[in-house]
Amino acid sequence: MKIDVKIINDYTREVSVDVPWSELESDFDSTIKKFSRKIKMPGFRPGKIPRDRLMQQFQS
């Protein structure tokens, strides 16, 4: 993990955090599972939406 803090003025800081995907992947997967339980998509029961379909629908 890499953290950079840039001082812009006396009251403002800019913080940049780089986190490897390996550290976030398990949290991301559990969040996707929780989200899929709540979302409704035509053709799928709640909680049974394939991850690929869910990612395709909400990817930005």
Strand partners of residue 4: 16
Given a cut of 70, whether residue 60 has pLDDT beyond it is no
CA 37 from chain centre, in angstroms, equals: 16
Q: Closest Cα to residue 40, out of 22, 26, 53, 21?
A: 53
pLDDT at 6: 97
Residue-range domain boundaries for the chain: 23-60
Phi, psi (5° rounding) for residue 31?
Answer: -70, -40
pLDDT tens, position by position, 4-34:
999 999 999 999 999 999 999 999 999 988 8
